[in-house]
Amino acid sequence: MRKRIILRLFLFVAVSISLCSCVHDEMYSTSDPSSKEYQSKSLWKEDEVYIINVKEIYEKNEDKIRKGHGTPLWDYAMTMDKFDESYLLVPIKQNGEVSEVLEVPRFGKKIYFKYTTAKEKLSFFRKFLIDTPKKTLPTSLSNDASKIICVTRTVSIWYPDNESDPNASGHWGSTSYTQCYDITIDTFENPDTGGDGGGYDYPPFGSGGGDIDSTLLPKTPCAILKEQITNIGYMDKIEKLDKYSVLSQKKEKGYSESKSGGFTELQQAASTEGSDGLTIPVSVNTKGYIHTHLNDYLTTFNENNEPEIRQPIRMFSPADVNTLMTMAEFAADGNYSDLYGTMVSSYGNYTIKFTGTAADIKTGFDSTKWNDDYIDYKVLHDSWSFEKLFLNFLKYKMNVQGVDLYKIKDNGTVQRKVLNPANNNVSSNDCPQ
Amino acid sequence: MKNTLFISTFLLMMISCKAQVIGTLEQFEECQKRPNRDEGCPDLDNITYVKDTNNRLNQFVGTWKGSFAGKQYEIHFEKIIQFGDDIKWDRIFGRMIIKNNSGTIIYNSLNKSLSETGLLRGSNFRGRVYLLSFVANSYCNDSGEAFIEISKTNPNQMTLFFDRDKTSFNPAKCPNFSTYVPTLPKDKMILIKQ
């Protein structure tokens, strides 16, 4: 009896070990690349000037950047259709496999190193580096070269039915990787995945004195918001709304801003049935809007003569997100960076920005069903803060990508609010000063 | 041998199933009264079932009728146990049938399921009053919060007060906003239990 159990245990252990060892694919073997000259092994045209320069800067500062990570395989570095010396990804080899990808963007005259284990980047390089035939498929570009673009790289890989006879039957599978450039400099200045947050001088852009023409660089949402809060027109409206006398009214107030310049006060529609809703019309000319969400207010008294209080949700609603999406839909040129929606409330002043691509634009969130679902979600998650409520509903119920939440603090700090994927709590990332 | 296998599998299943953490309506009512309530009440985050331990919701259950400004209102309130997904609550839900002064039905949610819009959806007490949200038509702000309480002297008498939303809307989606008549009246209404 005991023998049988022990035998079964051994079998189980043997099977598990063999299964685990099958997981690691064969790596395309290369000689140690760190001392070699760069020779592109990518299937696409790359910005080789940038790769060579970054490799040189990396090697000069390896002790500060590497910190226990593996070896970069520079021959496989890819600049993802950027040819302005501004971005590359390079796979990192450690313990015989591609363990991570090193991401190196240039912001201005400095380059930043950040290690990532993001699934789509890692699996792309892992599959690319397997020793099987490959052919390229057309790249899809969703935008112009001078703006932030999303590039989908698709590669077909041959999977033979019998690996000892690869020229016999099999099938082509494909692997693809979509890169949308992360234009938020703060994730590179403080990476939690190693590398060095300081940024390194990029001599080709840093020599000869004088600044780079900053209009050539795409502006991050942080940069745009920091400019906005120094804009007199915008701040004048914020100050007009951010007062107890306005927030304690039983009606919302606000302004819309047009692309051609100027703010218009939003009209409150009087109604015979006491609603006085704020009208927010959206057109192709709308750049953004600012509106209040109300303080708690008295509705009536109960039988004990105690006041009955209404507690509005002082945070963006699905309908507010829909307004931003409608503005994005109008932007036929794909330029979304100036669009915004601001909410002024006693909980704080917040702005939502659209940072996605055309594929991320979704509307219909102003429906009765979305409103009902949002309120019910709030009821069930009654202990959550308004920030946590909004970000969780946005991500898990509305399935929206590309809408970012920022808080504008009284002291002029702008903070991005994000969900920590480990526990779905809210983290705050200060915009750089 | 078989017995040990059964018992150990059963124990493993018990351990792997997440245990419910039960809280009370009163705990969450207290949370809403905190001055920094907007920041949330993280001490209650681990609760997965908010229970009506004192059966305070039972007083609302039944069919209630009232009339106001020429319309007849009939509301069926039921108590639902453990409604929700990751977090469950004991709640009151209300379905209505409304007739105008000619006896024509102008609103009927009696056959709606709990996942449809247009029901009165209970949240929690604030003192002796219970709050329910109501969303019939968001485009025209035909939505808001209902406050119900049972009379101290008569358990068969209920007052209902509805506070209509005063939020922003898109005028293109509600052109008749200024004269739109919402589903529930803006003044307090008395309802009698049937």
Predicted confidence (pLDDT) per residue in A229-258, tens digit:
999 999 999 999 999 999 999 889 999 999
pLDDT: which is higher, B2 or A149:
B2
Please give the residue of chain A at the shortest CA–CA distance from B182: A273
Hey, which residues 52-111 in chain B have their CB within 8 Å of chain A?
84-89, 91
Hey, which residues 245-274 in chain A have their CB within 8 Å of chain B?
250-252, 254, 266, 269-274
Q: Taking CB atoms and an 8 Å cutoff, what residues of chain A touch B88?
A: 380
Spatial distance between the Cα atoms of A108 and A30, rounded to a whole number of angstroms: 34
| Residue A273 pLDDT greater than 90, yes or no | no
Spatial distance between the Cα atoms of A292 and A248, rounded to a whole number of angstroms: 10
pLDDT: which is higher, A220 or A141:
A220
Q: What proportion of chain A, given as a percentage, has pLDDT over 70?
A: 71
When the pLDDT of each residue in chain A is averaged and rounded to a whole number, the result is 79
Query: Is B180 in contact with A1 (Cβ distance < 8 A)?
Result: no
- pLDDT for position A52: 93
- Our CA-based measurement puts residue B67 at a distance from the nearest CA of chain A, in whole angstroms, of 18
- pLDDT for position A205: 60
Q: Are A42 and A136 in contact (CB under 8 A)?
A: no
Q: Taking CB atoms and an 8 Å cutoff, what residues of chain B touch A369?
A: 117
Spatial distance between the Cα atoms of A321 and A342, rounded to a whole number of angstroms: 11
Hey, which residues 129-158 in chain B have their CB within 8 Å of chain A?
129, 133, 135-139, 141, 143, 145, 147, 149, 151-152
Torsion-angle region of residue B94: left (phi > 0), alpha (psi -120 to 50) or beta? beta
Q: Taking CB atoms and an 8 Å cutoff, what residues of chain B touch A304?
A: 127-128
pLDDT: which is higher, A171 or A282:
A282
- Residues in Cβ contact with A254 at an 8 Å cutoff, skipping those fewer than 6 apart: A241, A265, A266, A278, A280, A289, A290, A291, A292, B168
Residue type, A43: L
pLDDT: which is higher, A100 or A31:
A100
Q: Are B97 and B71 in contact (CB under 8 A)?
A: no
Say if B117 is an interface residue toward chain A (CB within 8 Å). yes
Predicted confidence (pLDDT) per residue in A166-208, tens digit:
566 666 655 555 555 443 444 555 545 445 556 777 776 654 3
Which segments in chain B show pLDDT lower than 50? 16
Q: Taking CB atoms and an 8 Å cutoff, what residues of chain A touch B31?
A: 382-383
Question: Residue-wise over A349-386: b if at least 16 C-beta within 10 A, else e?
Answer: bbbbbbbbbeebbbeebbbbebbbbbbbbbbbbbbbbb
Predicted confidence (pLDDT) per residue in B20-69, tens digit:
899 999 999 999 999 999 999 999 999 999 999 999 999 999 999 999 98
| Residue A42 pLDDT greater than 90, yes or no | no
- Our CA-based measurement puts residue B96 at a distance from the nearest CA of chain A, in whole angstroms, of 17
Say if A311 is an interface residue toward chain B (CB within 8 Å). yes
- pLDDT for position B76: 98
| Residue A263 pLDDT greater than 90, yes or no | yes
Hey, which residues 339-378 in chain A have their CB within 8 Å of chain B?
346-347, 366-372, 375-376
| Residue A218 pLDDT greater than 60, yes or no | no
Mean per-residue pLDDT, A350-360: 89
Hey, which residues 28-47 in chain B have their CB within 8 Å of chain A?
28, 31-32, 37-45, 47
Beta strands in chain B (DSSP E): 22-24, 49-51, 62-68, 71-84, 88-99, 105-108, 120-126, 129-137, 142-150, 157-164, 189-193
| Residue A9 pLDDT greater than 50, yes or no | yes
Q: What proportion of chain B, given as a percentage, has pLDDT over 70?
A: 91
- pLDDT for position A393: 97
Q: Taking CB atoms and an 8 Å cutoff, what residues of chain A touch B1?
A: 1
Q: Taking CB atoms and an 8 Å cutoff, what residues of chain B touch A320?
A: 168
Four-residue CA torsion sign, A248, A252, A258, A264: negative
Say if B189 is an interface residue toward chain A (CB within 8 Å). no
- Cα–Cα distances in angstroms (integers) from residue B76 to residues A309, A315, B112, B191, B192, in the given order: 25, 32, 12, 11, 12
Closest CB to B44 among A254, A281, A383: A383
- pLDDT for position A86: 84
Predicted confidence (pLDDT) per residue in A375-431, tens digit:
999 999 999 999 999 999 999 999 998 899 999 998 889 998 988 878 899 988 888
| Residue A58 pLDDT greater than 80, yes or no | yes
- pLDDT for position A20: 44
Question: Which of A126-135, A276-285, A302-311 has the highest mean predicted lDDT (pLDDT)?
Answer: A302-311
Q: What proportion of chain A, given as a percentage, has pLDDT over 90?
A: 42
Say if B49 is an interface residue toward chain A (CB within 8 Å). no
| Residue A83 pLDDT greater than 90, yes or no | no
pLDDT: which is higher, A184 or A261:
A261
Please give the residue of chain B at the shortest CA–CA distance from A291: B168
- pLDDT for position A180: 57
Question: Residue-wise over A68-88: b if at least 16 C-beta within 10 A, else e?
Answer: ebbbbbbbbbbbbbbeebbbb
Say if A314 is an interface residue toward chain B (CB within 8 Å). yes
Spatial distance between the Cα atoms of B58 and B74, rounded to a whole number of angstroms: 18
- pLDDT for position A133: 58
Mean per-residue pLDDT, A44-66: 90
Q: Which two tokens stand for residue A22?
A: 């099958």
